[in-house]
Structure 1
Amino acid sequence: MKVLSPAEWRPLADAHAARVDEFLEPHLARRADQVRHPVHDFLFTYYSQRPAQLRRWHPGHGVALEDAGAYAGLKGYAAEEPVTVSDAYVVSQRPLVEQLHRLLTATAARPPQFGCFGLHEWAMVHRASDVDGGTRHDWPLRLGQDGTDAVVESHRITCSHFDAFRFFTPTARPLNTLQPGRDDRPAFEQPGCLHAGMDLYKHAFRLTPMVPSDLVADCFELARDIRVLDMRAAPYDLTDLGVEPVRIETTAGKAAYVEAQRGFAERGAPLRASLVAACEWLLAVAGERSVAQNS
């Protein structure tokens, strides 16, 4: 067990807060003014972690903090001094850790695919004028409804990510060459998928406070950057927000999208590996503690 004094851990906590505040402060200001942002709000509407939770620093299991009474009441922490994430909490999270380990290792073992061109967002608005509620965002379509429908219908749709596929319109779902389901993610997830890259953030914060916050912040920043590409390649006209489109309906746009997609896959690979290693360590800890409790 590594023990950190207040002089050691408080600067780390402050640095983490300052790092994420670069994104959080504009988001919170917009929220206070009731101004929606179709790109950046996603990280706090689709994902369940609240800004205050992201801002709070955690050292991860195996590190104890002196004079850290505020942590003693937080989920996962033991009340003893120095304060640390308890072994009992790690044991209780074993099913989650096993689930994430299966998904992450299966995804990492699969070769990345770069032929989707971000068409999942287009499939979510295919013939949306015929669907109750219309489009998912209150922004105009760059090519109009007919032009958007034509792009979807003239391309091969290959979405492998269930949490994107489930938002396809009824007319678009049969056009997808894959039919991923809620419970078979390890059979479909692949590391070239933008949403699989963004979901590294979700996996990291679900492992909080057992993993260190620098890993969570790394995954958050990757998700933040991927989301920008995701919406730049979407069918919406977001130029009023300063979001220039990647015109994936053109040859040049497809090439630009694939180049960026490859870059994100390369950024995501070491983060996924770190999460796999964290899961394996936590499973070892949980196994050792379970044996000790039963002996």
Structure 2
Amino acid sequence: MQSQLTRLEVLAPEHWQAREAAHQRRASRFTAPYLDRRSAGRKHPVEDFLFTYYTQKPGQLLRWHPGAGVVLTGEAAAERADWKYYRPLSAAECADQGIDDGGAVTFDAERFRRERAETVSFTRIILSGTAARPARFACFGLHEWAMAYKSQLNGVRHEYLDLRLGAEGTDGVVEASRINCSHFDAFRFYTPQAAPLNTLQPTRDNQRHMEQPGCLHANMDLYKWAYKLSPALPSELVMDCFELSWRIREMDMQASPYDLAAWGYEPIRIETAEGRAQYAAAQRGFAEESQRLRSRLLAALELIDR
């Protein structure tokens, strides 16, 4: 046990509680407006997505965790002893770390590895495989258009939004384009008429082989993989992934067939050459940022294994 504990970072109450408060301020910028809208029965086509599509609840996002390799000290830390995947340090462990035996707690890596082994393994496969593949930048956000294809027959996913080019104009863009979506969780929402038009046929089974770092949805999903590893990851890293996903969602919907003028969003007109160039440039920037986050997530996975 001693060799393991010498690698832990010990945080005094004033230090970790300051980080906790900063995290809650950071997260509440996103959670508070969403909760207000939800209470009022209002929808937002861009800003609701991370709270309705993904499974982490606003309260879970607000809760701060230091991640693996950290000891929290003080009376307030003792309250976490009953939180899932936390454990109190024994008197001997506290003495080994040179801290008072007053309720110090740390992440329970052994229990997490035992109970979440499948999640850890799959996340490592997805992250490392995606990071190693070349990025592709020729999808131009057409997945959202494929989800609205033949809306006269299928309706639209966002029934309270108008199509910017109308139903026929939307169909015309789909039919005149080469659709190259590699992400199963986007492809599965295609209309029945659009699915055969995709040059690829992603499935849940081949997901681990098809994810690539140019894909906006694969990059948005960094938030999903981060919160699935909670509380093993520091919440600051989870929020970095969340904020990236938030900005990608904005761009994704700007390039969609929907008219978002009422919400203050200018369209990225991917039906034009200029719009496609604008989309691809932003996509490249997100890909570079996402690769850096993947590296940080993979490094955090290594801490879990220690």
Class of the TM-score when normalised by the shorter of the 2 chains:
over 0.9
Structure 1 residue aligned with 2:123: 100
Instruction: Give the one of 123, 127, 131 matched to 2:150.
Output: 127
Is 1:109 paired with 2:132? yes
Q: Structure 2 unaligned runs (5+)?
A: 1-7, 90-102
After TM superposition, the score normalised by the length of structure 1 is 0.93
| Secondary structure of 1:100's aligned partner | helix
Alignment-mate amino acid for residue 83 of structure 2: L
Paired residue total = 282
CA separation in 2, counterparts of 1:280 and 1:262?
28
After TM superposition, the score normalised by the length of structure 2 is 0.90
Higher radius of gyration, 1 or 2: 2
Q: Contact 1:27–1:40 at 8 Å: present in 2 too?
A: yes
Q: Contact 1:3–1:82 at 8 Å: present in 2 too?
A: no
Structure 2 residue aligned with 1:136: 157
| Secondary structure of 1:78's aligned partner | strand
Q: How does 1:59-98 map to 2 (within 5 A)?
A: 59-66=66-73, 67=75, 68-80=77-89, 81-86=103-108, 87-98=110-121
Alignment-mate amino acid for residue 70 of structure 1: E
Alignment-mate amino acid for residue 156 of structure 2: T
Structure 1 residue aligned with 2:100: none
- Of 60-69 and 166-175, more deviation after overlay is shown by 60-69
Return the offset for 1:69: 2.9
Q: Contact 1:27–1:41 at 8 Å: present in 2 too?
A: yes
CA separation in 2, counterparts of 1:161 and 1:26?
30
Return the offset for 1:225: 0.3
Is 1:174 paired with 2:181? no
CA separation in 1, counterparts of 2:46 and 2:205?
28
Q: How does 1:96-245 map to 2 (within 5 A)?
A: 96-131=119-154, 134-137=155-158, 138-245=160-267
CA separation in 1, counterparts of 2:37 and 2:88?
37
Q: Contact 1:113–1:192 at 8 Å: present in 2 too?
A: yes
Alignment-mate amino acid for residue 55 of structure 1: L
| Secondary structure of 2:82's aligned partner | coil
Return the offset for 1:7: 1.1
Percent of aligned pairs with the same residue? 53
Alignment-mate amino acid for residue 33 of structure 1: A
Q: Once the two structures are superposed, what CA deviation does each residue of 1:164-184 show, in whole Å capped at 9, x if it has no partner?
A: 000000000000000000122
Is 1:25 paired with 2:32? yes
Return the offset for 1:3: 1.9
Structure 1 residue aligned with 2:288: 266
| Secondary structure of 2:10's aligned partner | strand
Return the offset for 1:4: 1.3
CA separation in 2, counterparts of 1:124 and 1:145?
12
| Secondary structure of 1:84's aligned partner | strand
| Secondary structure of 1:208's aligned partner | coil
Q: Structure 1 unaligned runs (5+)?
A: 286-295
Alignment-mate amino acid for residue 302 of structure 2: E
Q: Once the two structures are superposed, what CA deviation does each residue of 1:73-120 show, in whole Å capped at 9, x if it has no partner?
A: 222112453111112223322221111101111100111100000000
Q: Contact 1:197–1:223 at 8 Å: present in 2 too?
A: yes
Structure 1 residue aligned with 2:4: none
Alignment-mate amino acid for residue 187 of structure 1: H
Q: Which runs of 4+ in 1 moved over 4 A?
A: none
Q: Once the two structures are superposed, what CA deviation does each residue of 1:188-235 show, in whole Å capped at 9, x if it has no partner?
A: 100000001100000000010001111101000000000000000000
